[in-house]
Amino acid sequence: MVKKNQLADGRRLDELIREVRGQKIMLDFDLARVYGVETKSLNRAVKRNADRFPRDFMFQISADEWQNLKYQIGTSSSGHGGRRRRPYVFTEHGTIMAANVLNSARCSADERFRRAGVP
């Protein structure tokens, strides 16, 4: 069974791919939903592994680019409980690396639980 916040089919994934600076990208909060984690968990894992994310894998969009995307996707303004910071965006290679980073973080957590005797 697919979690409510996860996306299952390819057609829905295509809707999450946008174009910025002539590159196809996914926004951090969309990618987090795809992988079934919170956005802050995704960004934290990426920051811990910053050396694995060169600028052609991930970058933070400019204020103008974010404003343009907000109009397209209908994100609320910061005064109404929306994001306070501009999102990070991931290119195709960045989305794959994010999956690797998240999987290794999960594996590490699972290993810590196993060592502690947690089933």
* Mean per-residue pLDDT, 89-114: 76
State the pTM of this model. 0.74
* Mean per-residue pLDDT, 9-17: 77
Q: How confident is the model at residue 53 (pLDDT cuts 50, 70, 90)?
A: very high
Q: For residue 113, what pLDDT is reported?
A: 46
Segment 24-43, tens digit of pLDDT: 999 999 999 988 899 999 99
113: region left, alpha or beta (phi > 0 left; psi from -120 to 50 alpha): alpha
CB contact at 8 A, 31 and 98: yes
Q: Quote the longest CA-to-CA distance of the chain.
A: 50
82 vs 2, higher pLDDT: 82
Q: For residue 79, what pLDDT is reported?
A: 54
Segment 58-98, tens digit of pLDDT: 999 999 999 888 887 765 555 555 677 899 999 999 999 99
Q: Whose structure tokens read 């999987």? A: 103
Q: Distance between CA atoms of 24 and 45, rounded to whole angstroms?
A: 22
Q: How confident is the model at residue 12 (pLDDT cuts 50, 70, 90)?
A: confident
